[in-house]
Structure 1
Amino acid sequence: MNKRNKYLRKLVAGLKSLGPGLVTGSSDDDPSGIATYSQVGAQFGFAALWTALVTFPLMAAIQEMCARIGLVTTKGLTSTLRNHYPKWILWLMILFSFPAIVLNIGADIAGMGAAANLITPRVPAFAFSVLFTILILAAIIIFPYQKVAGILKWFCITLLVYLAVPFFTDVNWMVVLKSTFIPHISWSKDFLNALVAILGTTISPYLFFWQATMEAEDIQQKGQTLMVDKRMISKMRQDVDTGMLFSNVVMFFIILTCGSVLYPHGIRQIQTVEQAAVALRPIAGDMAYWLFAIGIIGTGFLAIPVLSGSLSYMFAETFNWKQGLDKKFFQAKPFYGVIIISLVIGVLLNLIGINPVQGLIYSAILYGLTAPVIILVVLHISNNRKVMGDEVNGRWSNILGWLTFILMSAAAVAMLYLQFSS
């Protein structure tokens, strides 16, 4: 018992020591991301496992740059854009980000409702969606930033269920190792589409803005006014790397689960998260089914505040509104108004007949188009000594950053081609 308490205390201390990086990375594995990874595993088995190794350093490099910008400037990415770059870049970012993020929120809310309906079939999925939306809004409006951040950290734990699911199934671990370290690429339209989807799901622009803003807000909350030192930078990098690694490990295990359970049994089409859970049940058993469904709900509670919060910060910094999750509602009404509007629209999308999967496709296209532009801007800011002082990019940051830009640009072109070609 004492040993168990000791490990629990270490876990609590570890979570408390981590900052925005863990929440940012974990929120990337939202219900829509889970649907994407499930489809990739069901359709191609273990063939795409190696992508988890490739996307990790790319995600970590870009998110580290965004976090460093937030630390050094004590401002969000949008404020830095507004102060140092042409207005059209800022407006283009908002133009594409608003519909993309709202569609993503709508799909995630629908996924949470559907997963809860699997657990309690007597309650309609939409009723659960409305309930979850109200709970998320209440938490964001009522609790201060530090409390919200603490709650989100604990929701990260729900992602651990996906690491457990494969151990309830029969997995050929030698094939898994081979598929992980020896990349396989099929030059078919379907496989290329899957690679584009993975890139678009893991390297999403809204995460860039959330990361920078949360680092800046974290500094402001702690009342730190000293110059950023090497210790702070090192701690931030550790936090970001932990979050991005956690995100990619979860992605890896979701692909592994569906690749080991669904693919061998000929189940190749998974369009929603509830389909993945239902498909697992007769093959992998009730435990896998329950864990998968519970994880979807937990990731929704984690991701939706990040999605709506990042959008609200974009608008607040653009129009110079009072902002911050530490503010009371009456102190920052427009800021909280954007969060409320985005969540309400997200819920209503489920009423007017918009297919959540189609919504995710559209949001992925919009993310894919804006990501290369935002990455290019992040690279420019993080190499600009007038903004960053001595904390500009090192060699490896630039190498990984430019590689990410090239891959995301190629993904954007491929995405457009695959969507509009016959």
Structure 2
Amino acid sequence: LIIPMNFTLLALLFTAIILGLEIFTSYKRYARVLKWLTLSLIAYPITVLIVNQQWITILKSSIFPHFELSFDFLFVITAVLGTTISPYMFFWQASEETEEERAKHLLVRDNQPKINVKFIQSIQIDTLVGMIFSQIGAWSIIVVGATVMHQNGITDIASAADAAKALEPLVQSFPNSGYLAKLLFATGIIGLGFLSVPVLAGSAAYALSEAMNWKEGLNLKLSRARGFYGVITVATLLGLLMNFIGINPVKALIYTAVINGIVAAPLIFVIWLIARDEKIMGQYKSGRLSSALLGLTFTCMTIAGIALIMTFFKG
């Protein structure tokens, strides 16, 4: 959409760049690259703004959404929840905080972190800001999909590139607005690809390495963590392979998101128990507000998962 090159060559090039950055650069440099890539999220709100929208209806529907007890509706809702609160992110974020502590030399004896209130507060601010911007991006994608594509009868999208292409003839806010919308949407897709693929592969590597007691961490060189980087390589190459074996990537993402939405609930419950346990958390145990919000999240995720399963068997 942006670079007029053969798809196969671009896929191989992007895969090589992702693996090269994740395996052969230092954690500090790689973290800096990921932070700059988050700017790609800005493309989605800008896309929403250049489209003629019925803002009162959109805002009203965002605050008071339509709801129905049907399998199709609950399937999508569970997918949205699973995309927002993905189990793999639990592993990734916890592991990356450890990487950050190592990079900032916040470790004391036995390689254990030296944690203080200021550091915890910085994590909370970082998480809050990240969630706000990611949800603005997600909301913008949903709005564009609903108001531009769905309203014009486009409901079967085989890839994110197809979604970007579909915008061009439909957006007519001003001269060349359709082309600009396509370009912005495509830029966001590429940026998120560079962000999400390493996170997915890295999460699998952290989880498997911890289970197998392998050395793990992006701060380690390839020679010291071959198993860890091996999992990253295999997971990334499997993602590349999906482009060439006929699997619809959009449907694959939706089904995966639904699975995430169902699996996340019990994991959230375990985290909730750990966070409230003073024997484990000490002075940093979860407060009343965070415990209540986490409990509410668990309840919503559980209800959505159970309702989806019930409507599936009821037909």
Query: Is 1:237 aligned to 2:124, yes or no?
Result: yes
| Matched residue, 1:203 | 85
Structure 2 portions without partners, runs of 5+ = 109-113, 172-177
* Counterpart residue type for residue 407 of structure 1: C
Q: 1:203 to 1:242 in 2, by over 3 A?
A: same
| Matched residue, 2:69 | 187
Q: CA deviation at 1:411?
A: 2.5
Q: TM-score, normalised by structure 1?
A: 0.68
TM-align CA RMSD: 2.0
Query: Is 1:388 aligned to 2:275, yes or no?
Result: no
Query: Is 1:401 aligned to 2:294, yes or no?
Result: yes
Moved more, 366-375 or 144-153: 366-375
Q: Is the 8 A contact 2:272 2:291 kept in 1?
A: yes
Cα distance in 1 for residues equivalent to 2:241 and 2:60: 45
| Matched residue, 1:136 | 18
Query: Is 1:345 aligned to 2:238, yes or no?
Result: yes
Q: 1:338 to 1:419 in 2, by over 3 A?
A: farther
Query: Is 1:119 aligned to 2:2, yes or no?
Result: yes
Q: CA deviation at 1:162?
A: 0.7
Structure 1 portions without partners, runs of 5+ = 1-117
Q: Is the 8 A contact 2:79 2:258 kept in 1?
A: no
Query: Is 1:257 aligned to 2:144, yes or no?
Result: yes
Q: Is the 8 A contact 1:365 1:416 kept in 2?
A: no
Q: Is the 8 A contact 2:79 2:255 kept in 1?
A: no
* Counterpart residue type for residue 25 of structure 2: F
Cα distance in 1 for residues equivalent to 2:252 and 2:55: 35
* Counterpart residue type for residue 2 of structure 2: I
Cα distance in 1 for residues equivalent to 2:159 and 2:246: 15
Q: 1:406 to 1:294 in 2, by over 3 A?
A: same
Q: Is the 8 A contact 2:80 2:257 kept in 1?
A: no
Q: CA deviation at 1:418?
A: 5.3
Q: Equivalent residue of 2:246, what SS?
A: coil
| Matched residue, 1:290 | 183
Q: CA deviation at 1:200?
A: 1.2
Cα distance in 2 for residues equivalent to 1:250 and 1:348: 28
Q: Is the 8 A contact 1:170 1:260 kept in 2?
A: no
1:208-235 per-residue CA deviation (whole Å, 9 max, x = no partner) reads: 1111111112112211147522222221
Aligned length: 304
Moved more, 229-238 or 205-214: 229-238
Query: Is 1:176 aligned to 2:69, yes or no?
Result: no
Cα distance in 2 for residues equivalent to 1:346 and 1:257: 26
* Counterpart residue type for residue 119 of structure 1: I
Q: Equivalent residue of 2:243, what SS?
A: coil
Q: Equivalent residue of 1:262, what SS?
A: helix
Q: Equivalent residue of 1:349, what SS?
A: helix
* Counterpart residue type for residue 221 of structure 2: K
Q: Is the 8 A contact 1:133 1:343 kept in 2?
A: yes
Cα distance in 2 for residues equivalent to 1:329 and 1:365: 34
